[in-house]
Amino acid sequence: PDKTGVNLPATVEEMFTEIAPHGYVVIAFGELRMTKDLKGRHKTNPNQITFAIDWAMQQSKVEHSPYYNLIDTLKIVTLGQLCGDAQVLAQQVNDYHIKTHILYNSGMGDIAMTGANSTTLKSLHAPIFYMSGGKSDIVTSNAIKDFNRIKPISAVLAHTTAGHTGALDEPQGGSYTRLSFAWLDWQLKGDKANSKIFTNKRSNQFPEFTITSK
């Protein structure tokens, strides 16, 4: 899910293009667009997450599919940017195939949207990782509220100073992509060395972030 709920994968296309070759199947909502033009404003909806997961699981079982026996359907991650976080949270409740969540420049705080609100956090069953743009990111306060409310599952909050769009405007998603790799490789590939990045307040590998975990 992308910012403002718009079917516009172009805004995170560079990040996804960087992530996919490392052994991850990436599904982005919406038709392929070659620019970040918002014309049309085709809205996403939370049910698309379920549809994407169901499609991937089916493709892994169909012999003529290029993904046959190549998708680990027990290791699924959902990612949301800005308003996309509400869609991620709204659909995670009953899907235990989802092993972790990453939310970029997002946070519910005290708002309600697309079937999610602060109480939805109580139903989280997988570790969650927030990346925010810091003081100049208007939703950082929401991310902090979410982080403080989440229990008993593991949660991490990483602040930078990149603003409301974070590092997603940087080539290939910049530090957001690199930190996402560290999280994904730890959570889904069992790379325990990466756990140190998230359990310390600062990491030598990511000096631009202040990281809080619980």
Q: What is the pLDDT along the chain (214 residues), one digit of tens a residue?
A: 444 444 445 667 788 888 889 889 998 876 666 665 555 556 677 788 888 899 999 999 999 999 999 999 999 999 888 877 888 888 766 667 889 999 998 899 999 988 888 998 988 999 999 999 888 888 899 999 999 999 889 999 999 877 666 666 777 788 889 999 999 999 999 999 999 999 877 788 899 899 999 9
Whole-number Å distance between alpha carbons of 139 and 201: 21
| Overall CATH class of domain 3-213 | alpha beta
Q: Report pLDDT for 93.
A: 60
Q: Could you tell me the two tokens for 79? A: 């990612």
Q: How would you class 67 by CB atoms within 10 Å of its CB: exposed for 0-12, middle for 13-18, buried for 19 or more?
A: middle
Task: State the pLDDT at residue 200.
Answer: 78
Q: Where are the domains of the chain?
A: 3-213
What are the helix (H) ranges across the chain? 13-19, 47-59, 84-91, 140-149, 174-189, 195-199
> What gap in Å lies between CA 56 and CA 89, rounded to an integer?
20
Which CA distances in Å does 23 have to 20, 32, 72, 73, 201?
6, 22, 10, 13, 29
Q: What is the DSSP letter of 126?
A: S
Q: How far apart are the first and last CA of the chain?
A: 26
Name the E strands within the chain. 76-81, 98-104, 128-132, 155-159, 210-213
Exposed, middle or buried: residue 199 (CB in 10 Å: 0-12, 13-18, 19+)?
middle
